[in-house]
Amino acid sequence: MIRELSSLFRLRLAILNGVAAIGGAVFFPAPAGTVLVLAVFAAVVLLAAGGSALNQVLEHDLDRLMFRTRLRPIPRGFLTPATAAIIGLSVSAAGLVLLFAAAGTAPTLLGAAALAWYLAIYTPLKRRTPYALAAGAVCGALPPLIGWCSAGGSMADYRIMLLAGLLYLWQIPHFWLFQRRHAADYRAAGFPLLAVATRSSALPPLFWLWLASLATATTLLPTFGLISRSGAILYLLFPLPLIAMSLFRSEKILFSYLNAFPLMITVVIIAQKI
């Protein structure tokens, strides 16, 4: 049962979203209370978990066709779509209620917007265009913004916009490589793929240009003094592997590094406040 729910909620991804929200709260200059930070973390985890469940309800017909997703709870018959929908709606509602109780209206609206964007925009768009990943990346950039607003920051502040923008940039090459690794699955389910989407073909110049932009963008936070001097030394080491892998084009290592990239940035942000 635990394994099935973990698969339904994509628990590891949900927790990473919660950690990103902690990063946003800690990134705010004024100290955020421990109770607030933990509540926001839990709320974002619940929202991400509920969104995952509802996404699987919407795509259960396609999940059956892909090797990677065929053992999820609905395709396996462990849960009916109706039951999974009730679970997803309940968990999502719990996340919004907790977020409102802990942080107020603005973070709650952001959380609701992220959930709605993921389910109503990104999920159906995936069936129509390979460029849906540009829309889906918005959802991944919102958790730190939720954390920032929960701590008392303005969503229009350039500091959190830089951090959210960095996470947005990261997601494009990450999902591009992910799509290449599972191209056969996506084709079997009828998802449209980018023009160059097989692992045997070369990545286009646009990919490497985007990756170079990500490497450059990582320097903006310490450049603008938004990372302390002690944290900046470690932080500035992050673009170096990206630059090296862009030059030597080691796709396997690059994918592994990109998976860890946002977590490493969040750890530096949190560590400098400890």
CA dist 226 and 5 (Å) reads 38
Domains and CATH numbers, the chain: 2-271 (1.10.357.140)
Residues recorded for the chain: 274
CA dist 95 and 90 (Å) reads 9
Burial tier of 102 (Cβ tally within 10 Å: 0-12, 13-18, 19+): buried
CA dist 191 and 136 (Å) reads 15
pTM of the complete model: 0.89
CA dist 23 and 123 (Å) reads 26
CA dist 231 and 260 (Å) reads 17
Q: pLDDT tens string for the chain (274 positions)?
A: 788 899 999 999 999 999 999 999 998 888 889 999 999 999 999 999 999 999 999 999 999 999 998 999 999 999 999 999 999 999 999 999 999 999 999 999 999 999 999 999 999 999 898 888 889 999 999 999 999 999 999 999 999 998 899 899 888 888 888 888 888 888 888 888 775 555 555 667 777 788 778 877 877 777 776 676 655 665 666 666 666 655 656 677 777 777 777 887 888 777 776 6
Q: Say which residues have a Cβ less than 8 Å from residue 51's Cβ, sequence separation at least 6.
A: 88, 92, 114, 115, 118, 119
pLDDT for the residue numbered 254: 76
What are the CA-CA distances from residue 47 to residues 11, 96, 114, 136, 173 (Å)? 11, 7, 9, 16, 25
